[in-house]
């Protein structure tokens, strides 16, 4: 028979709790987190640290259940900001990721993902999915089943009403983050359910939740049908009436968040219509021509976000059309703001701080390259400033065809020909001795769309942000480069990486 385990769990300053697990230590860290979450009634995402005797009993992240034993001391580290009205004993530990310039000024070391620019009621997908409380009668049934499970290991076969209530509660929690979860996210939800309520585990299923996962998929599919009927833009964009007649099939050109977008296709603000927002858009055309008008432009761009986003996703206009209709968007400040509306994450400060954070690891990886490519990386390192060097080396390391080319005269015929042939790139012009490059710009589809940026690092951040602003797919020849920027540098939807991206991430660690 498995021996009982007693753990001391630190929840905050002057706040700890004894956790008793009668069945012994769980088989995984995720199962232990679920048990602590249940017994300590923790309602926010967290991770665990254990007291490591190898480092003078300092707390270290818990990655393996073998690291702890009976009477061990664990510490709860919250991964999001605690609500203001939470118990005063609760607290947030600093995040272990790179510091964010935008949020550090507030005095809190935890990255804040919401902002005035973000009009979304959604949040990014949590590291640990929290199972919500279900209806009152469902909770009573589950409590009785939990007692029976602890006494004799009896599993519950839920009746149709109870199963429907459970699925409905889970789906309402899922759509707070996305209406198009990936297969991995369905796994997380179903696994969290049986960890929170072990009596719901399925007999004969290797994972214990395969049936729940399938039921969740069907339930959410039916719920999306309901959302389409009530006019949810993110679902309506995939309706058959919005697809070409010659390719009118449900599977053709499905538009959904694929790169960690939180507010992918928002509805119009309450009290606003397409006509009223179009009026504001027309006012913006004259506002951008006025001086010292930044606040008015910012406010109107924020109000028209849903109109602009639906236009980009539904119609997929050319960049020249977007320049004509939304000239204010082609400005670094507005690209930063638009990216934050879409992802709830700052762009420029996050990119540059993460690049600095990874600089030592990048230089170490580049230095290990040999042969012709290794010599080229070393030459670039010797003659270029740090951030520009890192990015140029990174593109070469990835064997990417992105262009970072230097030109003394942007009107030169050879330079114009190079621009026309560039799918996506960065140019550096008018080099001045003893001074940073005064003219750095971005080229997309053979057109210069942004000029007078400070440096290549900033230009790369803006180029990455523009792919989100215009809902553009990464060019085939750049997919690995921007995958690493997205998932390794920016840490947007970082769970599923290609082999090349995972290989570089492993080397950086």
SS3 449: strand
Of the candidates 173, 257, 155, the one whose C-alpha atom is nearest the C-alpha of residue 219 is 173
Q: Which residue has the tokens 């296709």?
A: 265
Q: Which residue has the tokens 């009009």?
A: 119
Please tell me whether residues 359 and 412 are part of one structural domain: yes
Residue 75 placed within a domain: yes
Rg (CA), the chain: 26
Residue 116 placed within a domain: no
Residue 40 placed within a domain: yes
pLDDT score for 366: 65
Please tell me whether residues 358 and 283 are part of one structural domain: no
pLDDT score for 247: 63
DSSP 361-390: HHHHHHHT--HHHHHHHHHHHHHS-HHHHH
Output DSSP code: residue 125: P
Q: Cβ distance 464 to 483 under 8 Å?
A: no
Give pLDDT tens digits for 123-158: 888 878 889 999 999 999 999 999 999 889 899 999
Where the chain has pLDDT below 70, the residues are 1-2, 80-121, 244-251, 366-411, 430-438
Please tell me whether residues 335 and 353 are part of one structural domain: no
Indicate the number of domains in the chain. 4
pLDDT score for 138: 94
Q: Are strands 5-12 and 73-78 parallel, antiparallel or unpaired?
A: parallel
Please tell me whether residues 424 and 285 are part of one structural domain: no
pLDDT score for 3: 75
pLDDT score for 250: 65
pLDDT score for 497: 86
pLDDT score for 92: 37
Please tell me whether residues 163 and 308 are part of one structural domain: no
Please tell me whether residues 329 and 354 are part of one structural domain: no
Residue 65 placed within a domain: yes
pLDDT score for 482: 87
Give pLDDT tens digits for 361-418: 777 776 666 565 455 445 444 434 445 554 554 554 444 544 565 666 666 777 777 7
Residue 259 placed within a domain: no
Angstrom distances, CA of residue 179 to CA of 119, 124, 173: 17, 12, 10
Of 213, 236, 259, the residue at which a domain comes to its end is 236
pLDDT score for 248: 64
Determine if the pTM surpasses 0.75.
Answer: no
Residue 264 placed within a domain: no
**Rounded to an integer, what distance in angstroms lies between the CA atom of residue 145 and that of residue 158?**
10
Please tell me whether residues 359 and 458 are part of one structural domain: yes
Of 317, 341, 365, the residue at which a domain comes to its end is 341
Look up the domain containing 289 and give its range: 274-341
Residue 261 placed within a domain: no
pLDDT score for 86: 40
Q: Which residue has the tokens 């679902």?
A: 235
Please tell me whether residues 305 and 397 are part of one structural domain: no
pLDDT score for 41: 79
Please tell me whether residues 472 and 499 are part of one structural domain: yes
pLDDT score for 437: 52
Residue 252 placed within a domain: no
Close Cβ partners of 501 (under 8 Å, ≥ 6 residues apart): 480, 483, 484, 487, 488
């Amino acid at each position: 028979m498995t021996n009982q385990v007693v753990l001391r769990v630190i929840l905050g300053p002057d706040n700890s709790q004894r956790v008793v697990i009668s069945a012994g230590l769980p088989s995984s860290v995720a199962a232990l987190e679920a048990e602590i979450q249940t017994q300590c009634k923790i309602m926010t995402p967290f991770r665990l640290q254990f007291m490591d005797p190898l480092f003078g009993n300092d707390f270290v992240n818990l990655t393996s259940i073998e690291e702890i034993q009976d009477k061990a001391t664990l510490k709860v580290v919250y991964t999001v900001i605690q609500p203001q009205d939470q118990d005063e004993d609760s607290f947030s530990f600093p995040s272990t990721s790179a510091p964010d310039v935008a949020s550090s000024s507030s005095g809190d070391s935890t990255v804040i993902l919401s902002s005035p620019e973000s009009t979304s009621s959604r949040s990014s997908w949590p590291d640990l999915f929290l199972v919500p409380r279900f209806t009152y009668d469902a909770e009573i049934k589950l409590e009785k089943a939990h007692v029976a499970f602890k006494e004799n290991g009896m599993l519950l076969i839920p009746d149709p009403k109870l199963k429907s209530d459970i699925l409905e509660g889970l789906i309402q929690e899922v759509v707070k983050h996305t209406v198009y979860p990936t297969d991995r996210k369905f796994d997380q939800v179903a696994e969290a359910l049986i960890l929170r309520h072990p009596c719901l585990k399925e007999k004969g299923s290797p994972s214990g939740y395969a049936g729940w996962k399938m039921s969740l998929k069907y339930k959410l599919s039916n719920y999306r049908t309901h959302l389409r009927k009530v006019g949810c833009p993110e679902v309506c964009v995939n309706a058959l009436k919005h697809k070409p007649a010659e390719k009118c099939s449900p599977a053709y050109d499905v538009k959904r968040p694929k790169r960690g977008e939180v507010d992918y296709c928002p509805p119009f603000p309450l009290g606003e219509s397409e006509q009223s927002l179009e009026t504001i858009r027309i006012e913006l055309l004259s506002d951008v021509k006025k001086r010292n008008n930044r606040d008015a432009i910012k406010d109107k761009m924020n109000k028209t976000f849903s109109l602009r986003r639906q236009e980009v996703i539904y119609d997929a206009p050319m960049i020249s059309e977007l320049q004509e209709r939304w000239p204010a968007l082609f400005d670094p400040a507005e690209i930063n703001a638009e990216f934050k509306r879409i992802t709830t994450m700052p762009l420029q400060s996050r990119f540059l701080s993460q690049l600095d954070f990874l600089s030592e690891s990048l230089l170490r990886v580049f230095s290990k390259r040999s042969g012709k490519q290794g010599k080229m990386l070393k030459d670039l390192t010797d003659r270029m400033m740090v951030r520009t060097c890192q990015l140029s080396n990174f593109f070469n390391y990835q064997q990417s065809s992105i262009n970072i080319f230097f030109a003394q005269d942007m009107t030169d015929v050879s330079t114009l020909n190079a621009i026309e042939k560039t799918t996506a790139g960065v140019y550096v012009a008018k080099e001045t001795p003893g001074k940073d490059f005064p003219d750095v710009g971005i080229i997309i589809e053979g057109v210069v769309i942004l000029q007078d940026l400070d440096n290549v690092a900033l230009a790369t951040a803006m180029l990455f942000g523009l792919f989100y602003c215009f809902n553009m797919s990464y060019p085939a020849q750049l997919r690995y480069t921007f995958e690493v920027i997205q998932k390794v540098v920016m840490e947007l939807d970082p769970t599923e990486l290609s082999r090349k991206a995972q290989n570089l991430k492993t080397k950086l660690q």
